[in-house]
């Protein structure tokens, strides 16, 4: 069987990577081929076969596949799905921000039509929870097969060697052994893709205010990770180029995010989450919209000012205690299937276990 993978249009990451590794562990002899963005070619293991994305070779790979595994739209409208090919769409997160036709602002109709065409190719869509299934079906107007399995990419967060994995990642990032590590992982904004619009959070000032003993990791969205790099220092690291955000979830002691699906994935860990929503009304009412009421249903405090965020980060145990009940409800609703065995369930449902 020939399996062709696409993650974030050319990276070795996310749910496709977890499923690739699961298939390798299974011992079955399959042919594996990844679509690769040359800018990220160095992040692929040396023994992984790749073809450059957005090329005739990539189209040929997709059209020769027995199984396509992707976590996003392929952006290759010219490929034709062949009879007998199965397409597993894993997507890349539970949507808090409205997506596809549910978003406030939408791309031109021609681009939206291409995305709709891609959806018709899907044979299965992975969902991390029953609640997410409803959101994803609505956003994509998708009535096909949904595999409610949890996200394979999150297995590592609850695996038997998660503590050892955390130690390895922190060592790789040269993080002090006893440092408190805060991960800032915001989403992108449709009106900030072009140009040099400053982040709504002053990461340099926040790192300085948190003081010695705390390290702030900044992980920009993959659309924007090539911009505004931060100089590495004792208390601030730009980890936007780090291949796998799940490693960063393990390394961190707390997450600061906004409207990103990181909100749901990090909640699997049980560690504190703070939502920095400096542009809440603009994002909710004019830019994207939300799939539920963030202020009412957040697993952690929703703050608008950096000074308040800083104060809450100074006493993470107290913040965690204050939000224990809402956090528990959030995990029960959105994270119940993420138990460390999602990869096995997906492969079994595909008949590959």
CATH number reported for the structural domain that contains residue 100 in this entry:
3.40.50.11820
Same domain, 143 and 195: no
Do 209 and 296 fall within a single domain? Answer: yes
pLDDT at position 115 = 85
pTM metric for this prediction: 0.90
Same domain, 179 and 323: yes
pLDDT (0 to 100) of residue 96 = 86
Q: Which residues contact 41 (CB under 8 A, 6 or more apart)?
A: 50
Does one domain contain both 60 and 116? yes
Phi, psi of 333 (to 5 degrees): -80, -40
Tell me, yes or no, whether 217 and 80 share the same domain.
Answer: no
**Which one of 88-102, 112-126, 293-307 scores highest in mean pLDDT?**
293-307
Whether residue 199 sits in one domain with residue 53: no
Residues 175 and 323 in one domain: yes
CA gap 285, 293 in Å, rounded: 12
CATH of the domain at 271: 3.40.50.12580
CA end-to-end span of the chain, whole Å? 14
E strand or H helix at 70: strand 67-70
Q: What is the pLDDT of residue 76?
A: 66
Do both 307 and 190 map to the same domain?
Answer: yes
On whether both 214 and 174 belong to a single domain, the answer is: yes
Range of the domain at 62: 2-155+339-349
- Residue 197 pLDDT greater than 50, yes or no: no
pLDDT digits (tens, 9 = 90+) for 285-314: 876 788 889 999 999 999 999 999 999 999
CA distance 330 to 23: 31
- Is residue 68 located within the same domain as residue 171? no
């Amino acid at each position: 069987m020939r399996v062709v993978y696409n993650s974030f249009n050319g990276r070795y990451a996310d749910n496709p990577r977890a499923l690739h590794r699961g298939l390798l562990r299974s011992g079955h002899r399959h042919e594996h081929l990844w679509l690769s963005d040359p800018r990220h070619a160095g992040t692929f293991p040396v023994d992984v076969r790749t073809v450059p994305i957005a090329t005739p070779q990539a189209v040929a790979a997709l059209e020769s596949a027995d199984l396509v595994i992707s976590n996003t739209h392929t952006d290759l409208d010219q490929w034709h799905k062949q009879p007998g090919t199965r397409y597993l769409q894993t997507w890349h997160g539970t949507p808090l921000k409205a997506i596809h036709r549910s978003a406030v602002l939408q791309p031109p109709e021609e681009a939206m039509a291409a995305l709709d065409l891609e959806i018709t190719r899907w044979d299965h869509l992975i969902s991390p929870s029953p609640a997410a299934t409803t959101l994803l079906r609505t956003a994509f107007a998708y009535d096909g097969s949904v595999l409610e399995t949890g996200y394979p990419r999150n297995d590592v967060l609850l695996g038997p060697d998660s503590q050892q994995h955390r130690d390895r990642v922190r060592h790789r990032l040269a993080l002090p052994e006893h440092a408190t590590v805060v991960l800032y992982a915001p989403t992108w904004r449709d009106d900030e893709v072009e140009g040099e619009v400053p982040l709504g959070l002053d990461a340099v000032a926040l790192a300085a205010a948190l003081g010695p003993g705390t390290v702030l990791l900044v992980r920009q969205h993959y659309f924007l990770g090539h911009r505004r790099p931060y100089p590495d220092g004792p208390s601030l690291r730009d980890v936007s180029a780090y291949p796998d955000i799940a490693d960063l979830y393990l390394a961190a002691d707390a997450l600061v995010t906004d409207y990103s699906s990181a909100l749901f994935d990090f909640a699997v860990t049980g560690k504190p989450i703070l939502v920095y929503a400096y542009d809440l009304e603009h994002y909710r009412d004019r830019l994207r919209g939300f799939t539920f009421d963030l202020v009412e249903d957040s697993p952690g405090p929703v703050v608008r000012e950096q000074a308040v965020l800083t104060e809450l980060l100074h006493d993470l145990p107290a913040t965690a205690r204050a939000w224990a009940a809402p956090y528990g409800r959030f995990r029960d609703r959105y994270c119940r299937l993420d138990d460390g065995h999602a990869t096995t369930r997906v492969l079994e449902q595909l008949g590959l276990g």
